[in-house]
Amino acid sequence: MVINMSGGLRTLYANIIVDISHESVDRTFQYIVPSELAAGVRVGSAVLVPFGKGNREHKGYVLKLTDVPEWAPEKMKSILSVIENETGVEADAIRLAAWMRERYGSTMIAALKTVLPVKRKVADKMKRTVVRMGTADEAGRAAERYEAKHQCAKARLMKQLVQHESLPYELVTAKLHVGLPTIRTLEKAGDVRMVTEREYRSAVPRAERRERQYPLSEEQRQAAARVADAVRAGSGEHFLLHGITGSGKTEVYMEIAEQVVQSGKQAIILIPEISLTYQTVMRFYERFGERVAVVHSRLSLGERYDACERAKNGLADVVIGPRSALFTPFERVGVIMIDEEHEPSYKSENMPRYHARDAAFELASYHHASVVLGSATPSLEAYRMAEEGRLSLLRLTKRLTGGMLPNVSVTDMREELKQGNRSMFSDRLSRLLMDRLEKGEQSMLFLNRRGMAGFVSCRACGYVMRCPHCDVSLTQHRGGRLVCHYCGYEQASPPGCPQCGSKYILGFKAGTQQVEDAVKRLLPNARVLRMDADTTRGKESYDEILSSFMNEEADILVGTQMIVKGHDFPKVTLVGILAADLSLNANDYRAGERTFDLLTQAAGRAGRGKRAGEVVIQTYQPEHYSIRYAAGQDYEGFYREEIAYREFLRYPPMGHMLAVQVYASDEEAAARLAQEIKRRTEPLVKEREVLVMGPAPATVRKVKDIFREVLYYKHRDHEPLLLLREETERYLEEKSDREETVLFDMDPMNLI
């Protein structure tokens, strides 16, 4: 009898990193895993290894386990021991990366690069501050003087310096959009001076901290107390802060952060990049002074690294920033708060495609910390968790600015057309726009989805002009150029239809540009500002447009979804929503949720000040439930209807979904590989009763000449999907010479 011993004797090797930094994750060393340790060594484990010439004991982390030696095994050293229950920021980072790899599918190296900060040696830079020279009153008079001369940037800065004796230079340039030359001119005029950090520290002790101007409401106080108590107790209780727009959620986050800091722990606050406006950032500076680190994408790598160092060295205990701020190296995380948690931007689009919400729960578990999800329109995921008791529900039901919820009306554009109204605005909206202009109040016009409406089609045969590389319709811009919004391809408008030759090949005119034009025709005296991806292309202009609308330099702001996100314009008393139903037609199971969110958030922009607000929703589908519930500001009603639909089709959160995306320059190759993957996983699919959709070409079949084929798996539980992914990964490893790229997306936010 021949006994095959090879299975039992196979040696296991571990790729280990000994220097935990972003730069060295590609540099691993292979060690033998002694058989007596094999059971205890996992990807992410901390181990002791002999290192270097003297074989000094060194701590390392396991990034990969394999039975393939990378070099001569007889010369390889062995792992000495496994370090159990390793703690600290490094161990957290490795553990989080290992979790990401497992959950979302990527290499350990890609996952580590996501969670570790990039080191960039920066020349010691002096921290600069802009300080006002005179008194607050003098600054106010200077502001008026500059305003009269239409020197907006100067006026903007001086206005802020009425309230604050000094401002960080970065804040002034990046968020207030006042450049260095302007500051220099003001310096010459004797209005301000620039100081470097050292001088600043002795001259002006710190940015003056201002206490809250108002007491917290009872609801706010209770919500904050519940969370702070849980954090102090280290209970690991998690919360959903469901507060209508304008109910003061930001104030609650700050109160929680303050109490958490007082109890000796640290707070992470995630905010969508787009909401990190000057106003928001300033509120945090005022409250936490230098103890807060603000991270945003406009920071240079060096600045970002500095922020991480400050956190690591205990110089900051509150961090606020977008998704990636989650990876701030804090030793004592007490609370992680996610504002506008329903925002799709919390899901990463790069590998690993993690969702910040799930990563936050994972990280919190290492510290017995609490997670707070905040939103006026919670994601179905969050509300479902609250229903199941996995999140404690905290409600904020009142608006605190004195304003009431706006009065919402829905106008049916089909009826308007029947009445002979061919303009972009319903009669009601036109009348209200005029009324606001007369009263000197501000209005916002929100056009649902840019691009989608700008396509050019033939009125005779229906032919649509498409990008030759991306298979999406081209958008017509001023001057008649046709542009692809995926790849930037441009061409001139054709003189006739390429298919039938008809002259009537025209743009479907409903971009923000056309809205602006229509407003100007209706109200020639109105000052109109427009904000969309075109007008904000320059890095600076986004905040600039917002600041100038805030300062009442315009009467009407026209824009896409960009204008609806969390901005507080007290003077806005009218919001018009055009083409409310356009986003319902998107080919995506979240279309109903997106539409409801957008409409609710947009409506919430009205009446944030003392005066009541009015909202007009224009639509061709007034009977759709997303529109009906948004008009009624009825989240619960919407949730009931939407969750029933998700349950029925087993879409998240009533199940999980794994997308396998195959990319290739050859369409057939992509389709073939997708089919092969499907065939390979068939036994598992049968055994675990997984639902399969596809493979099929993606909705947008190709982008930049790369074809995209997608396969979806659905199941109530995660586990079978993880097994399917592993099986696919094994299969792909066998076919390592392939040219196609395969990416995984667990619970995708967008179906491609």
Residues forming contacts to ligand ADP in the complex (CB under 6 A) are 214, 216-217, 220, 243, 245-251, 400-401, 568
Q: Report CA 750 to chain centroid distance, whole Å.
A: 13
- By beta-carbon proximity to ligand ADP, the closer residue of 157 and 252 is 252
Q: Least distance (Å) from ligand ADP to the CB of residue 251?
A: 4
What binding mask, one character per residue, do residues 446-465 give for Zn ion by CB under 5 A, x or -?
A: ------------x-xx-x--
Q: Least distance (Å) from ligand ADP to the CB of residue 654?
A: 28
Q: How many other C-beta atoms lie within 10 A of the C-beta of residue 312?
A: 15
Q: Identify the DSSP state of 217.
A: P
Residues 6+ apart with CB under 8 A from 352: 100, 101, 103, 104, 105, 106, 110, 111, 114
Q: Least distance (Å) from ligand ADP to the CB of residue 214?
A: 4
- By beta-carbon proximity to ligand ADP, the closer residue of 284 and 327 is 284
- By beta-carbon proximity to ligand ADP, the closer residue of 567 and 715 is 567
Spatial contact of 204 and 131, defined as CB atoms under 8 Å apart: yes
Q: How many other C-beta atoms lie within 10 A of the C-beta of residue 234?
A: 14
Q: Which of 118, 500, 506, 693 binds Zn ion (CB under 5 A)?
A: 500
State the binding partner of 463 from ligand ADP, Zn ion, none, CB within 5 to 8 A by kind.
Zn ion
Dihedral of the CA atoms 384, 388, 390, 391 (nearest 10)? 60
Q: Least distance (Å) from ligand ADP to the CB of residue 601?
A: 9
- By beta-carbon proximity to ligand ADP, the closer residue of 241 and 664 is 241
Q: Least distance (Å) from ligand ADP to the CB of residue 22?
A: 34
- By beta-carbon proximity to Zn ion, the closer residue of 271 and 505 is 505
Q: Which of 372, 497, 654, 690 binds Zn ion (CB under 5 A)?
A: 497
Q: Least distance (Å) from ligand ADP to the CB of residue 249?
A: 3
Q: How far is CA 647 from CA 273, 540, 624, 715, 716, in A?
A: 32, 44, 19, 11, 10
- By beta-carbon proximity to ligand ADP, the closer residue of 38 and 400 is 400
State the binding partner of 512 from ligand ADP, Zn ion, none, CB within 5 to 8 A by kind.
none
Name which of 300, 369, 262 is nearest 120 in CA terms: 300
Q: Report the length, in residues, of the chain.
A: 752
Name which of 628, 637, 635, 642 is nearest 408 in CA terms: 628
Dihedral of the CA atoms 88, 101, 356, 323 (nearest 10)? 80
Q: How far apart are CA 177 and CA 172, in angstroms?
A: 6
State the binding partner of 568 from ligand ADP, Zn ion, none, CB within 5 to 8 A by kind.
ligand ADP
Q: Identify the DSSP state of 208.
A: P
State the binding partner of 248 from ligand ADP, Zn ion, none, CB within 5 to 8 A by kind.
ligand ADP
State the binding partner of 249 from ligand ADP, Zn ion, none, CB within 5 to 8 A by kind.
ligand ADP
Q: Which of 366, 489, 589, 625 binds Zn ion (CB under 5 A)?
A: 489
Q: How far is CA 282 from CA 262, 467, 517, in A?
A: 21, 43, 35
- By beta-carbon proximity to ligand ADP, the closer residue of 83 and 400 is 400
- By beta-carbon proximity to ligand ADP, the closer residue of 249 and 323 is 249
Q: Least distance (Å) from ligand ADP to the CB of residue 280?
A: 8
- By beta-carbon proximity to Zn ion, the closer residue of 460 and 591 is 460
Q: Least distance (Å) from Zn ion to the CB of residue 472?
A: 7
Q: Least distance (Å) from ligand ADP to the CB of residue 568?
A: 5
Told to check if 751 binds Zn ion by CB under 5 A, we report no
User: Which token pair is 628?
Assistant: 């009906």
Spatial contact of 605 and 569, defined as CB atoms under 8 Å apart: yes
State the binding partner of 129 from Zn ion, ligand ADP, none, CB within 5 to 8 A by kind.
none
User: Among residue numbers 645 through 684, which ones bind Zn ion (CB under 5 A)?
Assistant: none
Name the segment binding Zn ion (CB under 5 A); options: 38-46, 133-141, 502-510, 550-558: 502-510
Name which of 625, 649, 650, 651 is nearest 638 in CA terms: 625
Q: How far apart are CA 569 and CA 547, in angstroms?
A: 10
- By beta-carbon proximity to Zn ion, the closer residue of 20 and 487 is 487
State the binding partner of 489 from ligand ADP, Zn ion, none, CB within 5 to 8 A by kind.
Zn ion
- By beta-carbon proximity to Zn ion, the closer residue of 301 and 500 is 500
State the binding partner of 217 from Zn ion, ligand ADP, none, CB within 5 to 8 A by kind.
ligand ADP
- By beta-carbon proximity to Zn ion, the closer residue of 33 and 465 is 465
Reduce the secondary structure of 448-498 to three states and give it as a string: CCCCCCCEEEECCCCCECECCCCCCECEECHHHCEECCCCCCEECCCCCCC
Q: How far apart are CA 629 and CA 637, in angstroms?
A: 6
State the binding partner of 487 from ligand ADP, Zn ion, none, CB within 5 to 8 A by kind.
Zn ion
Q: How far apart are CA 747 and CA 467, in angstroms?
A: 29
Q: How many other C-beta atoms lie within 10 A of the C-beta of residue 335?
A: 28
Name which of 239, 235, 226, 233 is nearest 389 in CA terms: 239
User: Which token pair is 713?
Assistant: 């798996």
Q: Which of 373, 467, 615, 710 binds Zn ion (CB under 5 A)?
A: 467
State the binding partner of 497 from Zn ion, ligand ADP, none, CB within 5 to 8 A by kind.
Zn ion
Q: Least distance (Å) from ligand ADP to the CB of residue 567?
A: 9
Q: How far is CA 598 from CA 190, 578, 632, 700, in A?
A: 46, 12, 14, 23
- By beta-carbon proximity to ligand ADP, the closer residue of 375 and 621 is 375
Q: Report CA 33 to chain centroid distance, whole Å.
A: 41
Told to check if 625 binds Zn ion by CB under 5 A, we report no
Q: Least distance (Å) from ligand ADP to the CB of residue 154?
A: 26
Q: How far is CA 72 from CA 31, 32, 66, 75, in A?
A: 11, 11, 15, 6
Spatial contact of 331 and 88, defined as CB atoms under 8 Å apart: yes
Told to check if 486 binds Zn ion by CB under 5 A, we report yes
State the binding partner of 731 from ligand ADP, Zn ion, none, CB within 5 to 8 A by kind.
none
The DSSP bridge partners found for residue 464 are 457
**How many H-runs (helices) and E-runs (strands) does the chain carry?**
23, 30
- By beta-carbon proximity to Zn ion, the closer residue of 274 and 484 is 484
Task: Give residues in contact with Zn ion (CB under 5 A).
Answer: 458, 460-461, 463, 467, 469-470, 484, 486-487, 489, 497, 499-500, 502
